[in-house]
Amino acid sequence: MKTIDELLTEGVAGKRVFVRADLNVPLDGTTITDDGRIRAVAPTIAELARAGARVIVASHLGRPKGAQDPAFSLAPAAARLGELLGAPVAFATDTVGESARATVADLADGQVAVVENLRFNPGETSKDDAERGAFADELAGLADLYVGDGFGAVHRKHASVFDLPARLPHAAGHLIATEVGVLQKLTDDVKRPYAVVLGGAKVSDKLAVIDHLLERADRILVGGGMVFTFLKAQGHEIGSSLVQEDQIPAVREYLDRAKERGVEFVLPVDVLVAAEFPDLRTKAPAHPETVAADAIPAGRMGLDIGPETGRLYASKLADAATVFWNGPMGVFEHPDYAEGTRAVAQALVDSPGFSVVGGGDSAAAVRILGFDENAFGHISTGGGASLEYLEGKTLPGLAALED
């Protein structure tokens, strides 16, 4: 895989460089609530601009379904990128239309432009190779070179991720190079003990990675909404907690396999429960109660791991040489259910081992809960991409960057 360093050595001054970034940031109206992904790709963009390239930045945001939708405009992300670069960033109000062509034509050496949300064009996400390819042809007409640096999208077979690199000389940006290097530490010659913490709502989202990790991890700690499917698979009462009944046979199989292989599967010993889901808008007090994980009362739903479990999980991470964490332990967006996630994050900070926060809600939680990002070994920008890499899948966006 050619890197941006090689591209810079060859020279990019005066050339139009298309950077496929991941600016898919959470918005509250037009206000960015977490700019982590923009900050992660900014160094690649800044270096290209300093080298005299005419930089065209493109990304998706949300799921606008192939049509213009102001709620998913990249304008706020373009403005934030300009603040981070300390220089004006032009913004095109379409992807490959009149505005995009004019904006790119007006760029001088060292200047940066952002084109509008790629998913406003149905060709970006089309499953039809011809339609996707036609859109990639239009994108290729804007540029001379391609730099892939949107790690959060490399598991998607989309026009700007998979088809476009085949049409232009291409290289991997700094962010993708870093992400791949980190993930190799979780798959090749891993330092042990290797502990994995998995959370989030649905166990079905994690089954494939659990299957893969059973061959590699020393211990797997489970939290979040997905844990109640595990608890029910063990025969425990879970009240009105989230459960995926159809996944119980698979969960039982994984628990049996873990026992056979000597992989320690750690489940909560206590949980926080309430009669209803908390109001995340007002953050009104929820008044949860702590109960044993194997004795959740009827009419109560589990919403976070309990304090004893937080201490247990911290002890299981204390001696780990490698830790991968993906998924919060509870409804961390509400202060009454944030302590389980906080306990795991603090355990990673305290651990002397190499810790990787696997993107998505886990990365957001780290920032929302006020942790110093530099206290972790690495915070990924792509939760889904990280999981699929750990599952051993070929990621289209990485395959497209191979020479």
Q: Is there a binding annotation on residue 367?
A: no
Q: Is 333 annotated as a binding residue?
A: yes
Does 156 appear as a known binding residue? yes
Residues with Cβ within 8 Å of 349's Cβ and at least 6 positions away in sequence, in order, are 355, 371, 372, 375, 376
262 is annotated as contributing to ligand binding? no
262 is an active site residue = no
List the catalytic residue out of 20, 37, 54, 300: 37
Number of H helices, E strands in the chain: 14, 19
- Is 23 labeled as ligand-binding? yes
Rounded to 5°, angle at Cα 54 from 48 and 60: 80
Q: Report H helices in 113-267.
A: 129-140, 174-185, 207-213, 227-233, 248-261
Residue 283 among known ligand-binding residues: no
CA-to-CA distance for 399 and 221, rounded, in angstroms? Answer: 31
Q: Which two tokens stand for residue 130?
A: 């011809």
Is 206 assigned to a binding site?
yes
330 in active site:
no
Asked whether the beta carbons of 324 and 353 are under 8 A apart, the reply is no
Annotation-wise, does 60 bind a ligand?
Answer: yes
Contacts of 152 (CB under 8 A, 6+ apart): 22, 24, 37, 359, 381, 382, 383, 384, 385
> Which one of the listed residues 360, 382, 383, 397 is annotated catalytic?
360
On whether 350 is known to bind a ligand per the annotation, the reply is: no
* 225 annotated as a binding-site residue: no
Residue 119 assigned to a binding site = yes
User: Other C-beta atoms within 10 Å of 256: how many?
Assistant: 10
52 assigned binding-site residue: no
127 among the known binding-site residues? no
Catalytic one among 173, 340, 383, 384? 384
Q: For strands 270-274 and 289-292, give the pairing.
A: antiparallel
The two structure tokens encoding residue 168: 């232009």
Known active-site residue 152: no
Catalytic residue chosen out of the listed positions 39, 101, 185, 202? 202
HSE (side-chain half, CA atoms, 13 Å) at 49: 22
Give the 3-state secondary structure of residue 181.
helix
List, as residue ranges, the binding site for (2R)-3-phosphoglycerate.
37, 119, 156
Residues with a catalytic annotation lie at 37, 202, 360, 384
List, as residue ranges, the binding site for ATP.
206, 302, 333, 359-362
List, as residue ranges, the binding site for substrate.
22-24, 37, 60-63, 119, 156
List, as residue ranges, the binding site.
22-24, 37, 60-63, 119, 156, 206, 302, 333, 359-362
